[in-house]
Structure 1
Amino acid sequence: MAQAEGGYYVPHSSWWPIIGSVGVTALVVGIAMWLEGMGASLWVTGIGAVITLIMVIGWFGDVVREGVKGLYSDQVDRSLRWGMIWFIFSEVMFFAAFFGALFYARVFSVPWLSGEDPATSRLLWDSMVLSWPTAGPGNVGMEFQPMGPWPLPTINTLILLTSGVTLTIAHHALKAGNRGRLVTYMWFTVALGLLFTGLQGYEYYEAYAHLNLRLDTGIYGSTFFMLTGFHGVHVVIGTLMLAVISLRCMKGHFSPDSHFGFEASAWYWHFVDVVWLGVFIFVYVL
């Protein structure tokens, strides 16, 4: 897989950016309509999702074909790496917002409303006593059980940590030129990602069916489902990325010296692992 010699590859003109803009806009507008209870929201959301999916498949397909043809120079490779680094940084900030909301609610809001600041407590919710986890003063009396770390969250933690190990083994196999070992451990990683998603789905069923823990269960329910839910979405996306990379490995798209597509997916998956450790400690354990 020869690389372009010198220069900087300039791709041909493409409609994918505008198509993606239309799809993402329709998707966001559809979700906003759904939150407002508007009737056509599911249609708008579905159309936006389909357009976005077509854009992702088409655009990434073009990038893969360009890479396989050897059109990318070392400078393009560096640009792709920096692009992935900034993308992951944006994801770090995304989750930092939700962890910040959890921290503020637990460390500041609950103590203030429970009398740590008498003036605030008397003004807003007189004689209110709260302790975490709580649904909040507006939902006093709402009976629910918090989700503990055992057994499903702990099992899922072990699954994700194991997936990080299998992915690392696959990476070393790729650099060693051992394609059979590479493909085997890549599919192991994909299977572990699917298992994590399945167990989290069962955890949500238990929360709704037996713990009365829902997205509308006040501040605890909202922070719990926003953090675990968005992380779950990232696991699904990462699993799809790894599945595509596994198929590309089977087709021989990567070499020991040129495999940024593999590395980008691996970076993303390890990021997902690290975020889960934070979720596990601050949402389930503490």
Structure 2
Amino acid sequence: MSQQAGAYYVPHGSRWPIIAAVGLFIFMWGAAHWLDGIEPEGPILLFTGVAIIIFMKFGWFGEVIRESQRGAYNSQVDVSFRMGMMWFIFSEVMFFGAFFGALFYSRGLQVPWLSGEGHGALTNYYLFRGYTGGWPTAGPDAIGGPFKTVPAWGEPLLNTLLLLSSSVTITIAHHALRDGHRRRMLVFLAATPILGALFLWFQAHEYIDAYTHLNLTLHSGIYGATFFLLTGFHGLHVTLGTIMLLVILYRTWRGDFSKEHHFAFEAVAWYWHFVDIVWLGLFLFVYIM
């Protein structure tokens, strides 16, 4: 159905929000059952919820793409999409900000207090006498036993170079799209998810080495918890970003984007640059400092 000039498109009767709500409910229900040790209901419910969510994403995004291609959206809708993506990335900034805050609080305040500095003198004297922990530490009880940290100048440095290179490739691809150079755009866009996949490969190897040779696990006290939560959630975001890049690569190859209209491409590029910036913070504050 064509839209009048200046009219703001609002879909009517969409089934996708209720499908999303049902999928999320079943997913969380299954996760709670699984954590409580209720099997096999827990895993079955959880993966059923995941399947419904995946089905919803393909269906909902496909419908949005079809609406865009038939001209249902005007400039006001485009602004709404851009603002929505900006707020989504802002929410991700707050998400990682919470984990970085936990890291800074632990190493800058909590561990020194437990060691007797500042307001922690009585706590150290009565509860953890003799504890003089520095960072990294597994805490006064050395939870998980002694461990070694991952060397910053090995795989983390390589992964930093990979992600920085991927920011360059997707930027070149974006400029090529706006300049109408299709071949260059496809080559550099294809290189970006390849670099993302290489990052994930080396991170998986890093985790295996940490568990098998360094005794650094998720249970290695406060350091192990913050290390794996920060790097693990970042790896999850790289995984999602790589999938998004592959979808955009397919849509670009199919010819869905033009010089003037390619917001989906831009949104994925924004997300990927955000993931790269977060990694720079991780490399600096988790691996080096």
1:53 alignment counterpart = 54
CA contact (8 A) 1:197 1:236 kept: yes
For 1:130-141, list aligned pairs within 5 A. Answer: 130-139=133-142
Equivalent position amino acid for 2:235 in 1:
G
- State the aligned residue count: 285
Range that drifts further, 179-188 or 83-92: 179-188
Cα distance between partner residues in 1 of 2:10 and 2:153 = 52
Pairing 1:278–2:281 present: yes
For 1:1-286, list aligned pairs within 5 A. Answer: 5-39=5-39, 40-116=41-117, 117-139=120-142, 142-286=145-289
Please report how far the alpha carbon of residue 5 of structure 1 lies from its aligned counterpart in structure 2 after TM superposition. 3.1
Equivalent position amino acid for 1:200 in 2:
Q
Equivalent position amino acid for 2:104 in 1:
F
1:130-183 CA-to-partner distances (Å, cap 9, x unmatched) read 111111123268121111212100000000000000000000000001111111
Please report how far the alpha carbon of residue 45 of structure 1 lies from its aligned counterpart in structure 2 after TM superposition. 1.5
Cα distance between partner residues in 2 of 1:105 and 1:159 = 30
1:106-134 CA-to-partner distances (Å, cap 9, x unmatched) read 00110000111311222332221211111
In 2 relative to 1, CA 129–37 (structure 1 residues): closer, same or farther, beyond 3 Å?
farther
CA contact (8 A) 2:143 2:219 kept: no
Please report how far the alpha carbon of residue 4 of structure 1 lies from its aligned counterpart in structure 2 after TM superposition. 7.0
CA contact (8 A) 1:113 1:121 kept: yes
Equivalent position amino acid for 2:187 in 1:
T
CA contact (8 A) 1:4 1:73 kept: no
Cα distance between partner residues in 1 of 2:105 and 2:59 = 42
CA contact (8 A) 2:143 2:220 kept: no
Equivalent position amino acid for 1:27 in 2:
F
CA contact (8 A) 1:121 1:127 kept: yes
Range that drifts further, 20-29 or 45-54: 20-29
Please report how far the alpha carbon of residue 41 of structure 1 lies from its aligned counterpart in structure 2 after TM superposition. 2.3
Equivalent residue of 2:241, what SS? helix
CA contact (8 A) 2:251 2:257 kept: yes
C-alpha RMSD of the superposition: 1.6
Cα distance between partner residues in 2 of 1:140 and 1:275 = 28
Equivalent residue of 2:66, what SS? helix
CA contact (8 A) 1:4 1:71 kept: no
Please report how far the alpha carbon of residue 33 of structure 1 lies from its aligned counterpart in structure 2 after TM superposition. 3.1
In 2 relative to 1, CA 99–159 (structure 1 residues): closer, same or farther, beyond 3 Å?
same
Where has structure 1 moved over 4 Å in runs of 4 or more? none
Cα distance between partner residues in 1 of 2:64 and 2:37 = 39
Please give the TM-score of this superposition, normalised by the length of structure 2.
0.95
CA contact (8 A) 1:145 1:213 kept: yes
CA contact (8 A) 1:6 1:73 kept: yes
CA contact (8 A) 1:149 1:280 kept: yes
Equivalent position amino acid for 1:83 in 2:
G
Identity value in percent: 54
Range that drifts further, 202-211 or 139-148: 139-148
CA contact (8 A) 2:16 2:56 kept: yes
1:158-209 CA-to-partner distances (Å, cap 9, x unmatched) read 0000000000000000000111111111110011111111111111111111
- Which stretches in structure 1 are left out of the alignment for 5+ residues? none
Please report how far the alpha carbon of residue 22 of structure 1 lies from its aligned counterpart in structure 2 after TM superposition. 1.6
Equivalent position amino acid for 2:57 in 1:
V
CA contact (8 A) 1:170 1:181 kept: yes
In 2 relative to 1, CA 255–221 (structure 1 residues): closer, same or farther, beyond 3 Å?
same
